[in-house]
Structure 1
């Protein structure tokens, strides 16, 4: 159980790049990082408009001299301070992630970055090498993985309660972009422009979320090859897709499917993962995140509830209120930021960690998966070896 007391004598001095007024994601970063007193927001370059960013920073009670015009000014100024930032979160459009993350690591900072981490596996590997050389961690905000029942599923699968895993069905298929909403919504407009979003829209923006859930639940499964078909039903989005189907084969012989979609009319969120074994299945849906379906062949369906004593201890460790009370996405993100803080502190002390979190390797795999999907789709939806 988490009671909100800090894990550290002093909170980690923390800054943000992006996440300012109008940001879709900035508030949840701040809410998650500040909740357990493990971080203290002391600096930021919150907006591409320096004056607007400064005004917003002041409303967050950041000192005026530490509200910077851009990340370069912030990293240089903070490095010269005895009380300079130790970590930074990057909440900017996709095309800026690599440049900012690399600069942050070279400045000796831990990094939390929105996904995708960058556009290519070569860039991701460069960040991986830089992080290792600097002995700093990179966390990637696959926020749904912070729900406790994801850990419960991981433990049940590892304990053999499903038997050998045969099939993994994943989807993130909402309907909110069934028309060209980007025409009037700046925060969506850049997501469908390849110059700013990169080589994909829904594959990278939402498909990688359930993919990472599968990586957490099934850490030993490795993709062997895949086939992807992608479509632009709103034609103005081409060449970026608003719908995609990806079939995958794992090295164990198990198979998987990922449906990534922004035009699933009527669907609120539609993110689900179902893991099917030889004896039983597990299913989790992010619209009902406090329940995990456990279905044993020939037996009644069991609904496992968050916060109950019959769960594995690891699935109870991050509860913030007793069972029966619903916890949501803000709590899940807070759990991840708690893990990021522990990993940062361990790295600074020259120690490793014995828990999972979405790290640089998870970010790299997300980029690699998107690259392979695009390669397959652009060749006419052919099977490609995963590389």
Structure 2
């Protein structure tokens, strides 16, 4: 818990009920460090099912609400009302729920994409600034400590000038039309619920955000994207896309976003190539970072070890040798959300010079990237200036 806090943040959830793919990890991460306390929720589109689920979680039945409108209104009238809310609902609801939460004076932690358009994202940013509230976006993989190690290595010049960035999130679990039997997948391939893209927004933005954490000094200058619907019933949404990008320093990047990489479990990899050395991180082996210096044997850096930079070691939870996973990574993000919400970034653990977390700007940039990729792909895969 933050050093100056006497109690956890009173916290609610919208969505994330029984059967949710993501609700359990939100709750596990938020509650792990006792920085948040789940006190209210609107968990399900079915009010009775949502109420019953809230009671199962130990909530007061009166604070297990039929919908977010009722929850925000009722909690605003309580002296012990919620102070923050996590949104774990289909994409098409994010903008409306985020807006309502901010208007009720709540901090927001939202699933990505934050919304559908850059104009909507800019509206949310302006509203969050006007209300003085934090908006966090759950790019959960960025909580792995080796991402901070990679960031520190680039900052300290271990790789030299960055030349090439290869990003991919290419799994194979949707190489067949699984949505015909799986409701939790069905909405992801329906533009009414998913928005203007499927895999670009659903998986591509994850390694993109990680690259932004590692390489904050690089800005996209222009890009070119091609996207395909290999399972034809998913058109106009893509289940595969390849994006080529140029940065303002002359470096280039590729992003492979796919749900049809048959045989691949997850396939999220980030490779950064510099003039002196390269690093590579693979989310299926998140505790290691490959460090490859030209002309020398490959080194595999392990999480939790004293040879890592302090920025990486402050995220360590159980010491070197023990495997940490996605739950720890998400908990690291929720700890950063807590520090930001509490205004206690100065009280972050020793070694933290700047509090890095996926904030409203990260959410906005994810939406901007998808919008530019779709614009390029729909124009025939042409180069477009990034805007």
Normalising by structure 1, what TM-score? 0.97
Partner of 1:378: 378
Partner of 1:71: 68
Whether 1:148 aligns to 2:145 is yes
Q: Give the superposition deviation at 1:354.
A: 2.7
Does the CA contact (< 8 Å) of 1:135 and 1:347 recur in 2?
no
* Distance (Å, rounded) in 2 between the aligned partners of 1:363 and 1:150: 18
Whether 1:95 aligns to 2:62 is no
Whether 1:162 aligns to 2:159 is yes
Does the CA contact (< 8 Å) of 1:290 and 1:306 recur in 2?
yes
Does the CA contact (< 8 Å) of 1:137 and 1:347 recur in 2?
no
Does the CA contact (< 8 Å) of 1:6 and 1:36 recur in 2?
no
* Distance (Å, rounded) in 2 between the aligned partners of 1:347 and 1:148: 21
Whether 1:183 aligns to 2:180 is yes
Whether 1:19 aligns to 2:16 is yes
Partner of 1:211: 208
SS at match of 2:300: strand
Q: Give the superposition deviation at 1:166.
A: 0.2
Q: Give the superposition deviation at 1:314.
A: 1.2
1:57-97 per-position Cα deviation (integer Å, ceiling 9, x unaligned): 00000100000010010000000000000000000000000
Normalising by structure 2, what TM-score? 0.97
SS at match of 2:115: coil
Whether 1:59 aligns to 2:56 is yes
Give runs of aligned pairs for residues 1-387 of structure 1, distance below 5 A. 7=3, 8-346=5-343, 354-387=354-387
* Distance (Å, rounded) in 2 between the aligned partners of 1:16 and 1:220: 35
SS at match of 1:268: coil
Q: Give the superposition deviation at 1:347.
A: 7.7
Structure 1 gaps of 5+ residues are none
* Distance (Å, rounded) in 2 between the aligned partners of 1:104 and 1:126: 14
SS at match of 1:84: coil
SS at match of 1:368: helix
Of the structure 1 ranges 322-331 and 353-362, higher mean CA displacement relative to structure 2 is found in 353-362
Structure 2 gaps of 5+ residues are 347-352
Runs of 4+ in structure 1 deviating by more than 4 angstroms, as ranges, are none
* Distance (Å, rounded) in 2 between the aligned partners of 1:162 and 1:324: 26
1:11-31 per-position Cα deviation (integer Å, ceiling 9, x unaligned): 000000000001000000000
Does the CA contact (< 8 Å) of 2:171 and 2:267 recur in 1?
yes
* Distance (Å, rounded) in 2 between the aligned partners of 1:371 and 1:238: 17
1:240-270 per-position Cα deviation (integer Å, ceiling 9, x unaligned): 0000000000000000000000000000000
* Distance (Å, rounded) in 2 between the aligned partners of 1:320 and 1:313: 14
1:88-137 per-position Cα deviation (integer Å, ceiling 9, x unaligned): 00000000000000110110000000000000000000000000000000
Does the CA contact (< 8 Å) of 2:199 and 2:241 recur in 1?
yes
Q: Give the superposition deviation at 1:9.
A: 1.1
* Distance (Å, rounded) in 2 between the aligned partners of 1:269 and 1:314: 27
Does the CA contact (< 8 Å) of 1:135 and 1:348 recur in 2?
no
SS at match of 2:343: helix
Count of residues in correspondence between the two structures: 380
Does the CA contact (< 8 Å) of 2:226 and 2:376 recur in 1?
yes
* Distance (Å, rounded) in 2 between the aligned partners of 1:265 and 1:72: 42
Q: What is the Cα-based RMSD across aligned positions, in Å?
A: 1.2
SS at match of 1:171: strand
Does the CA contact (< 8 Å) of 2:339 and 2:345 recur in 1?
no
